[in-house]
Structure 1
Amino acid sequence: MAKRKEEKTNVMRILDQRKIPYTAHFYEETQGPEGTREYGLHVAEALGQDPRRGFKTLAARGASGGIYVFEVPAPESLDLKKAARAVGEKSVELLRVAEINEVTGYIRGGCSPVGMKKRYPTVFHETALAYETIYISGGKIGAQVEIAPQALLELLGASASDITAQ
């Protein structure tokens, strides 16, 4: 897929303001597959990156009504029971597609943990810390940022835990 001219996104502006190093990657916006797992793999393939280093952003609501953000490797699925334990909830369920923009400020496929409308408790799958850099959404479809996971976790006040299905 052809790469596009670099355009700064809100995510990139926030990282620039905080002086957090990152590399922007752009890919052709195409109609990708429907599921989040398949879409994450589609993006990794478009950029020629290891899909295990590409993290997808999933927003969920806990039994208490609180909103949580989970970051899992593109080939993996979120285990809702593990996710609930990681945030101290009895249960969590993913937000409906119609709620994503209202809650996060982003659209499905372009949701990033950086720059959401509010700061929500965020949990990365523990494998994020095994890499020198990981990829997350740049805040819009067609943009990704490559960033050191420790810097990202510090920026977000995030934690890391085993939150994927086996």
Structure 2
Amino acid sequence: MAHSKVEKTNAARLLDRAKIAYETVPYRVDEEHLAATHVAEQLGEAIECVFKTLVLRGDRTGYFVCVVPGNHEVDLKAAAKISGNKKAELIPMKELLPTTGYVRGGCSPIGMKKAFPTYVHTTAADHPFIYVSAGVRGLQLKLAPPDLIRFVGAIVADISREANSL
């Protein structure tokens, strides 16, 4: 995968350093519509291969990260169980930037302020490549799921359900 000429984000620099192939793919941002469905439409890609990065807090282990398809919602019970917690909840939006270094709509599983336990939904393996945020709004990273999983040390797990089935 070739690198297009776009500003390098910290996540992209980390992938470069690790010699992991990826592509940066820009898209038009709509501040009123930061949902993954908008990103998928802008990219002209299926929502199932555009993954969103969500940060949760468990009652026992603290912060952890879930990377799920854009048409899914985190299953809080399943995420809590796989992460060694009794309960887990999404962190409040005001905690996102100070905790991860990223803003809503630009949260990447790569290059957070601290390495948190990360869980990637099992369907990532169904795709030759997936998209995740490059760490800023308006830019996605296109990369092979095994590369992302290996790089962030993620555990692959069934941590979400299609949004309409929860």
Q: TM-score, normalised by structure 2?
A: 0.92
Query: Is 2:155 the counterpart of 1:150?
Result: no
Instruction: Kindly tell me the number of residue pairs found equivalent between the two proteins.
Output: 159
CA–CA distance in structure 2, aligned partners of residues 100 and 27 of structure 1? 22
After the TM superposition, which residues 1-166 of structure 1 pair with which residues of structure 2 at under 5 Å, given as runs? Answer: 6-33=6-33, 39-64=35-60, 66-165=62-161, 166=165
> 1:49-73, CA deviations, whole angstroms, 9 ceiling, x for partnerless residues?
1110011000000002510000110
Tell me by how many angstroms 1:85 deviates: 1.0
Tell me by how many angstroms 1:129 deviates: 1.0
1:112 counterpart SS class: coil
Aligned AA (2:144): A
1:88 counterpart SS class: coil
Identity level (%) = 43
Q: TM-score, normalised by structure 1?
A: 0.92
Contact 2:36/2:47 (8 A) holds in 1:
yes
Contact 2:61/2:84 (8 A) holds in 1:
no
Contact 1:32/1:42 (8 A) holds in 2:
no
Aligned AA (1:25): V
Contact 1:24/1:138 (8 A) holds in 2:
yes
Tell me by how many angstroms 1:28 deviates: 1.7
> Which stretches of structure 1, 4 residues or longer, exceed 4 Å deviation after superposition?
none
> 1:123-146, CA deviations, whole angstroms, 9 ceiling, x for partnerless residues?
011000111110000100000000
User: Which ranges in structure 2 are unaligned for 5 or more consecutive residues?
Assistant: none
CA–CA distance in structure 1, aligned partners of residues 124 and 30 of structure 2? 27
Aligned AA (2:21): P
Contact 1:61/1:95 (8 A) holds in 2:
yes
> 1:98-139, CA deviations, whole angstroms, 9 ceiling, x for partnerless residues?
000011010011000100000000001100011111000010
Aligned AA (1:66): G
CA–CA distance in structure 2, aligned partners of residues 19 and 130 of structure 1? 23
Aligned AA (2:11): V
- Mean CA deviation greater in 25-34 or 97-106: 25-34
